[in-house]
């Protein structure tokens, strides 16, 4: 039985200065799903996310969030966002981890409203879920890459979102931290029911983590389970993503 779609894109296109970034993309994201979006650099992945998040307005097509046209949607606290290169953010300013995570609560509380005791409880709860409670009084500048990643995830979770959107979040952290991070995302999805939309150029990672693979190269190339995609579209994936896709497809077919 299929869950109801909570994000719907219908024939969506977008151009930067008359140069097409994405063309005629139609997609639905279901409640509780774990979707991985892959594609070559410059293929439109981040543009697609920014359209879903209302940061860009499509030049054609329609977007619906939780059953509402995006133009009328106001409940943005339901969607948490970890942007690309957040790990490279300048963190030298003297702010504690708890203060950073508190910033994420303003999506629900309102930008100019003082945070209440219940807001701070939500902040502490997101720190606990992210495994970062022990860091809350540390300065963000003192943390390792893997620790900062957990803090920024906690900030995204502070608004208690139903959807978590992540754009290349593993960039710049070591492999051991990445493994912990992917296990954490799976827990958010399976235990807490949070819908995950994860963008990466690394097909190998998302093939093993996501329940659905969405391949984007300015247009929607294919979408479905990794096994189905590699069986039916191997040549197409090779032409789009090169030798890396060829090796992964061969490995997957062998398994």
> What per-residue confidence (pLDDT) applies to 254?
46
Token output for 184: 């954490």
3-state secondary structure of 108: helix
Token output for 172: 């710049």
Given a cut of 50, whether residue 78 has pLDDT beyond it is yes
3-state secondary structure of 166: strand
Percent pLDDT > 70 in the chain is 80
The phi, psi pair for 77, rounded to 5°, reads -65, -15
pTM for the complete prediction?
A: 0.84
> What per-residue confidence (pLDDT) applies to 87?
55
Distances from the Cα of 189 to the Cα of 32, 41, 183, 184, 196, angstroms:
7, 27, 10, 9, 7
pLDDT single digits (tens) 177-211: 777 888 888 889 999 999 999 988 777 777 788 88
Given a cut of 60, whether residue 124 has pLDDT beyond it is yes
Are the CB atoms for 25 and 39 separated by under 8 Å?
A: no
Q: Which domains does the chain have, with CATH numbers?
A: 33-42+76-224 (3.40.50.300), 226-255 (no CATH)
pLDDT bracket for residue 1 (50, 70, 90): very low
> What per-residue confidence (pLDDT) applies to 247?
53
């Amino acid at each position: 039985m299929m869950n109801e779609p909570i994000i719907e894109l219908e024939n969506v296109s977008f151009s930067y200065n008359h140069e097409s970034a994405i063309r005629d993309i139609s997609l639905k994201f279901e409640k509780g799903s774990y979707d991985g979006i892959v594609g070559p650099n410059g293929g439109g992945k981040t543009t697609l996310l920014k359209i879903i998040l209302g940061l860009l307005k499509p030049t054609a097509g329609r977007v619906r969030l939780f059953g509402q046209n995006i133009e009328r949607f106001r409940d943005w606290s339901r969607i948490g966002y970890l942007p690309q290169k957040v790990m490279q953010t300048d963190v030298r300013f003297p702010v504690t981890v708890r203060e950073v995570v508190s910033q994420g609560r303003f999506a629900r509380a309102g930008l100019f409203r003082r945070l209440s005791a219940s807001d701070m409880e939500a902040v502490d709860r997101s720190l606990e879920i992210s495994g970062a409670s022990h860091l809350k009084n540390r300065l963000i500048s003192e943390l390792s890459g893997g620790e900062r990643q957990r803090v920024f995830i906690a900030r995204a979770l502070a608004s208690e979102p139903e959807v978590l959107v992540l754009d290349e979040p593993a960039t710049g952290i070591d492999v051991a931290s990445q493994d912990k991070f992917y296990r954490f995302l799976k827990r958010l999805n399976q235990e807490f029911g949070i819908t995950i939309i994860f963008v990466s150029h690394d097909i190998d990672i998302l093939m093993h983590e996501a329940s659905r693979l969405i391949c984007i190269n300015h247009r929607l190339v294919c979408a479905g389970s990794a096994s189905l995609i590699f069986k039916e579209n191997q040549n197409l994936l090779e032409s789009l993503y090169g030798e890396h896709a060829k090796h992964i497809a061969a490995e997957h077919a062998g398994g």
